[in-house]
């Protein structure tokens, strides 16, 4: 070492050595800078050439400037051929070394070998440059120092490229620069320390390159270093601008991402996109954030171990305010910009999805209108209850609920009011039940209740009473008070069936029984109900079809003057012959038609048909049409009548409408309003079946009826029943006083006819005069009748 230091200190002009050092450092930085660009460019060979020239120029310039500093006083020249050769060889060998290291940068052997060749290139350049030296004296070399110089050069070369082109690590480039500078400097000065100059013999100045030329050459070399370095810097700037733009684009992309993206190193947050910042209310100081706070103590372990890379797993994450949210987290290792290992977390907030999942699950199992369990859910629960009851021997009850005349609510108040009523009803039902009981809406106004742990009928009766009372209370909808009643049917497990299906069917049967028994009540299932129900269903089905297929007909029964027996009117009586059931009597199907609302269509048909038929009869024969109270509850009855008259051309005073007192028993005001409107059409109104119902005289006084029809029941056992005779007489007298005509129905014998005439009845109707007849027979009947009267 000593000769080397001695040589540097004594043999060199240190100011020029400093210049050499500056050129060396600058050149090395440029070389490595340009070499890093050579990898992955479109023209790698051009870049490699630039690297080689840059490296060659650096070493060469360093060498010759250092040589200028060496024994400044000694007259030295250089052989031009060898000088050029030293440069070219150095450039070629070093270029080869760089090429190998850049191309095979993934393999440490290629990098080491390339580095070794680089060092060798420096050796070639130096010693060929020394060989070009001409000076007055004889040069000898100390072999150990020469060997050391070669070893230094190759050794530092290996290290330099091994690190500079190795995996990205912080300060790798700087280390590469330092090692390359060491490679060049140690070689040069160790080699110079090995030189000993003997005097006299070999100095041959002639034809050598002078100092001035050499300085010019060095200046050119330095300039080329400068230019290449600038080119590298320019490209560097362009590339970093592009990288910055790219990073900006990535940032925008990441910020636009729906997911939270977080980069962390050992749990310490390094970067986070906008979504993640929002998710965890992160401020600017990301570094103070730890992902462990989000995962919560107990989950960190699970987070670290359970999840493999790239696989999503669910966690409950905690926000800084302590609230939590469900999230899906996907993790991926990544190399951070400073070369250290980090991890990217993609965090998806599952709150909305979980909520919509829950909502969908709720929708799938509940009735959207009432929020009660739907049929599917109810059946599931009922099946479970049966299974449990099988095991424990506990009883339970199934209740079928159906609102009475619910359709009327829809018709009168609109569907929205109907829906609102159902919602209120559902709330009332729920409030009546215990927690373990379940209710459902099957659709329309049909509800069912599963009463668990029903200890015999007693508990169920109590529940039914509560239900009837709760549901009967009037409700206010849109400022209108609506009252509605409900019919309930009950089936008990195990007496009335041991499957859910049987129990449902039987509770339904019992419910229909409750309806048939006057509604607003409850019936427990009894086995005989089944048959009656089946028959009723058949009837309803057949009637529906008959109406749809227009198969109903009308028979007409004459009403005659009690004095001279002249026909005054015909009563229209609907007839139905079913292909399966045969002839069905009105007293059997009219109640069904009223219950199902079919009566509206039937009534409309009868009025229109009757008016048309009456137009074919001689004036002033009238037609009498029966109206059901249900028809008054629906809107449009007055219009129907008006239209039937207009269509047929029948004058209003040839139409009689027969109503019963039930019409006036409920909704009297509304009924009276409609009766008055009908009267304004010129139509006559008759009180039918008088004496059967409550027979309240007040009904007769509250509306100016044109006619009273005394019910058949009072006529039937005349003349023997004196009590009936006096009732008929009283009614007839009252009718007279109220200026109403009195008609007796069901007159079958001459005796009855005579007696009724004597009791002051104005008109007679019954089999004695004629049975209800087909309209085609009326003409013949009228002809024959006139003949009889005339005879
Ligand atoms: P109603 O209005 O009292 O009609 C008279 C009923 O008595 C008719 O029975 C008729 O056939 C029967 N009848 C007439 N004369 C005699 C007789 O001398 N002896 C006996 N035993 N019966 C006699 P129908 O046709 O079976 O009608 C029964 C009830 O059905 C009617 O009673 C009426 O309330 C209802 N009805 C019939 N057609 C219609 C209709 O088009 N609309 C409405 N709303 N109800 C109708
Ligand atoms: Ca009648
Ligand atoms: Ca009658």
Determine the distance separating the centroid of ligand 1 and the alpha carbon of 315, expressed in angstroms: 78
Percent with pLDDT over 90 in the chain: 37
Give the residue ranges of DSSP H helices in 257-287. Answer: 274-279
DSSP character string of 445-459: TEEEEEETT--HHHH
> Could you tell me if 332 and 344 are in contact, meaning their C-beta atoms sit under 8 angstroms apart?
yes
Q: Does residue 586 have its Cβ closer than 6 Å to ligand 1?
A: yes
Listed in sequence order, the residues at least 6 apart from 672 whose beta carbon sits closer than 8 Å to its beta carbon are: 664, 702, 703
Residue corresponding to tokens 């009432």: 370
Task: Determine the pLDDT at residue 209.
Answer: 64
Q: What is the pLDDT of residues 486-504, one digit of tens each?
A: 999 999 988 888 889 989 9
Distance CA 398, CA 393 (A): 16
Please give the mean pLDDT across all residues of the chain. 86
- Residue 642 has φ and ψ, to the nearest 5°, of -60, -45
Nearest partner of 575 among 596, 599, 556, 594, judged by Cα: 556
> Could you tell me if 763 and 560 are in contact, meaning their C-beta atoms sit under 8 angstroms apart?
yes
pLDDT at 692 over 90: no
Smallest CA separation from ligand 1 atom 30, residue: 586
Q: Does residue 372 have its Cβ closer than 6 Å to ligand 1?
A: no
Average pLDDT of the segment spanning 694-719? 82
The angle at the Cα of 420, spanning 417 to 424, to the nearest 5 degrees, equals 135
Nearest atom of ligand 1 to the alpha carbon of 711: 3
**Which residues is 345 bridged to in the sheet?**
262, 331
Q: Does residue 573 have its Cβ closer than 6 Å to ligand 1?
A: yes
C-beta neighbour count of 569 within 10 angstroms? 26
Distance CA 402, CA 183 (A): 101
pLDDT at 36 over 60: yes
pLDDT at 558 over 90: yes
Ligand 1, from 552, 586, 688, 711: best to mutate by most atoms within 8 Å of Cβ?
A: 586
Task: Determine the pLDDT at residue 788.
Answer: 47
Give the residue ranges of DSSP H helices in 581-721. Answer: 586-596, 598-614, 629-633, 637-648, 662-665, 668-680, 697-702, 712-716
Q: Does residue 588 have its Cβ closer than 6 Å to ligand 1?
A: no
Q: Are β-strands 567-578 and 622-626 bridged in parallel, bridged antiparallel, or unpaired?
A: parallel
Average pLDDT of the segment spanning 764-778? 96
At 748, is the pLDDT very low, low, confident or very high (cuts 50, 70, 90)? very high
Task: Determine the pLDDT at residue 219.
Answer: 76
Q: What is the pLDDT of residues 280-312, one digit of tens each?
A: 888 777 777 888 888 876 566 566 655 566 677
Distance CA 229, CA 158 (A): 23
Nearest atom of ligand 1 to the alpha carbon of 709: 3
C-beta neighbour count of 775 within 10 angstroms? 19
pLDDT at 200 over 60: no
What is the C-alpha radius of gyration for the chain, rounded to an integer number of angstroms?
A: 58
Average pLDDT of the segment spanning 724-747? 90
Average pLDDT of the segment spanning 577-584? 92
Smallest CA separation from ligand 1 atom 23, residue: 746
Nearest ligand by distance to the CA of 686: 2
Helix (H, G, I), strand (E, B) or coil at 398: strand
Q: Enter the DSSP assignment of 12.
A: B
Nearest atom of ligand 1 to the alpha carbon of 586: 30
Q: Are β-strands 480-482 and 341-349 bridged in parallel, bridged antiparallel, or unpaired?
A: unpaired
Task: Determine the pLDDT at residue 330.
Answer: 85
Q: Does residue 405 have its Cβ closer than 6 Å to ligand 1?
A: no
Nearest atom of ligand 1 to the alpha carbon of 689: 3
Task: Determine the pLDDT at residue 71.
Answer: 64
Q: Does residue 689 have its Cβ closer than 6 Å to ligand 1?
A: yes
pLDDT at 339 over 60: yes
pLDDT at 675 over 90: yes
DSSP character string of 321-338: TS-EEEEEEEEEEEE-TT
Determine the distance separating the centroid of ligand 1 and the alpha carbon of 573, expressed in angstroms: 6
Give the residue with greater pLDDT, 701 vs 486.
Answer: 486
Task: Determine the pLDDT at residue 791.
Answer: 39
Nearest ligand by distance to the CA of 572: 1
Task: Determine the pLDDT at residue 789.
Answer: 45
Q: How many Cα atoms within 13 Å fall on the side-chain side of residue 764? A: 27
Smallest CA separation from ligand 1 atom 26, residue: 586
Smallest CA separation from ligand 1 atom 11, residue: 772
pLDDT at 53 over 90: no
Average pLDDT of the segment spanning 89-118? 87
HEC assignment per residue over 551-590: CCEEEEEEEEECCCCCEEEEEEEEEEEECCCEEECHHHHH
Distance CA 484, CA 471 (A): 7
Nearest atom of ligand 1 to the alpha carbon of 585: 26
Task: Determine the pLDDT at residue 72.
Answer: 61
> Could you tell me if 54 and 31 are in contact, meaning their C-beta atoms sit under 8 angstroms apart?
yes
Query: Whole-model pTM?
Result: 0.47
Determine the distance separating the centroid of ligand 3 and the alpha carbon of 102, expressed in angstroms: 116
Nearest ligand by distance to the CA of 689: 3
Task: Determine the pLDDT at residue 301.
Answer: 59
Ligand 1, from 559, 573, 710, 745: best to mutate by most atoms within 8 Å of Cβ?
A: 573
pLDDT at 600 over 70: yes
Give the residue with greater pLDDT, 10 vs 518.
Answer: 518
Task: Determine the pLDDT at residue 297.
Answer: 64
Average pLDDT of the segment spanning 72-100? 85
Q: Does residue 587 have its Cβ closer than 6 Å to ligand 1?
A: yes
């Amino acid at each position: 070492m000593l000769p080397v230091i001695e040589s540097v200190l004594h043999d060199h002009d240190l100011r020029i050595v400093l210049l050499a050092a500056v050129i060396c450092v600058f050149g090395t930085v440029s070389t490595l800078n340009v070499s890093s660009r050579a990898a992955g460019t479109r023209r790698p060979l051009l870049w490699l050439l630039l690297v080689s020239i840059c490296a060659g120029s650096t070493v060469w310039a360093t060498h010759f400037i250092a040589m200028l500093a060496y024994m400044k006083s000694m007259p030295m020249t250089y052989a031009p051929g060898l000088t050029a050769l030293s440069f070219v060889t150095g450039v070629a060998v070093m270029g080869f070394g760089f090429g190998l290291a850049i191309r095979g940068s993934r393999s440490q052997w290629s990098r080491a070998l390339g580095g070794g060749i680089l060092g060798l290139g420096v050796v070639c350049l130096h010693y060929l440059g020394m060989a070009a030296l001409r000076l007055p004296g004889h040069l000898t070399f100390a072999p150990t120092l020469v060997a050391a110089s070669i070893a230094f050069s190759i050794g530092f070369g290996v290290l330099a490229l091994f690190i500079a082109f190795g995996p990205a690590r912080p300060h790798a480039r700087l280390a590469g620069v330092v090692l390359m500078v060491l490679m060049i400097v140690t070689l040069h000065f160790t080699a110079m320390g090995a030189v000993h100059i003997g005097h006299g013999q070999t100095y041959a100045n002639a034809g050598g390159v002078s100092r001035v030329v050499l300085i010019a050459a060095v200046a050119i070399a330095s300039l080329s270093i400068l230019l290449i370095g600038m080119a590298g810097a320019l490209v560097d700037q362009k590339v970093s601008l592009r990288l910055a733009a790219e990073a900006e684009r990535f940032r925008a992309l990441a910020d636009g991402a729906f997911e939270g993206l977080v980069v962390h190193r050992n749990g310490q947050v390094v970067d986070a996109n906008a979504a993640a910042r929002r998710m965890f209310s992160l401020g600017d100081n990301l570094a103070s954030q730890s992902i462990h706070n989000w995962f919560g103590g107990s989950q960190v372990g699970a987070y670290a171990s359970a999840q493999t890379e790239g696989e999503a797993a669910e966690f409950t994450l905690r926000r800084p305010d302590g609230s939590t949210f469900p999230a899906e987290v996907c993790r991926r290792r990544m190399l951070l910009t400073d070369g250290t290992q980090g991890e990217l977390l993609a965090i998806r907030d599952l709150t909305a999805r979980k909520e919509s999942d829950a909502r969908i699950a709720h929708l799938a199992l509940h009735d959207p209108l009432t929020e009660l369990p739907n049929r599917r859910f109810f059946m599931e629960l009922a099946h479970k209850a049966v299974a449990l009851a099988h095991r424990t021997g506990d009883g339970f009850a199934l209740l079928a609920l159906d609102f009475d005349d619910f359709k009327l609510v829809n018709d009168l108040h609109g569907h929205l009011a109907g829906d609102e009523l159902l919602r209120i009803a559902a709330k009332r039902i729920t409030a009546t039940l215990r927690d373990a009981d379940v209710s459902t809406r099957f659709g329309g106004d049909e509800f069912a209740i599963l009463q668990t742990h029903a200890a015999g009928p007693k508990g169920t009766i109590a529940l039914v009473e509560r239900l009837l009372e709760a549901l009967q209370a009037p409700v206010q909808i849109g400022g209108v008070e609506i009252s509605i009643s409900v019919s309930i049917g009950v089936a008990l497990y195990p007496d009335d069936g041991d499957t859910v299906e049987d129990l449902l069917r039987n509770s339904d049967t019992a419910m229909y029984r409750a309806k048939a028994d006057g509604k607003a009540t409850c019936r427990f299932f009894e086995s005989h109900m089944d048959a009656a129900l089946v028959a009723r269903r058949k009837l309803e089905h057949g009637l529906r079809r008959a109406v749809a297929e227009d198969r109903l007909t009308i028979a007409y029964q004459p009403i005659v003057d009690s004095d001279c027996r002249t026909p005054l009117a015909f009563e229209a009586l609907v007839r139905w012959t079913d292909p399966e059931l045969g002839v069905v009597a009105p007293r059997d199907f009219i109640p069904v038609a009223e219950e199902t609302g079919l009566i509206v269509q039937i009534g409309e048909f009868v009025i229109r048909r009757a008016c048309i038929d009456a137009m074919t009869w001689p004036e002033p024969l009238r037609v009498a049409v029966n109206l059901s109270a249900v028809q008054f509850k629906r809107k449009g009855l007055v219009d129907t009548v008006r239209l039937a008259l207009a269509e047929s051309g029948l004058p209003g005073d040839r139409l009689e409408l027969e109503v019963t007192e039930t019409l006036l028993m409920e909704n009297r005001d509304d009924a009276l309003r409609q009766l008055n409107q009908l009267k304004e059409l010129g139509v006559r109104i008759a009180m039918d079946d008088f004496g059967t119902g409550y027979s309240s005289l007040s009904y007769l006084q509250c509306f100016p009826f044109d006619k009273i029809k005394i019910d058949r029941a009072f006529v039937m056992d005349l003349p023997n029943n004196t009590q009936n005779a006096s009732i008929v007489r009283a009614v007839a007298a009252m009718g007279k006083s109220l200026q109403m005509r009195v008609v007796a129905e069901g007159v079958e014998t001459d005796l009855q006819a005579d007696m009724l005439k004597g009791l002051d009845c104005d008109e007679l109707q019954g089999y004695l005069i004629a049975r209800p007849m087909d309209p085609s027979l009326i003409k013949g009947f009228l002809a024959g009748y006139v003949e009889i009267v005339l005879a």
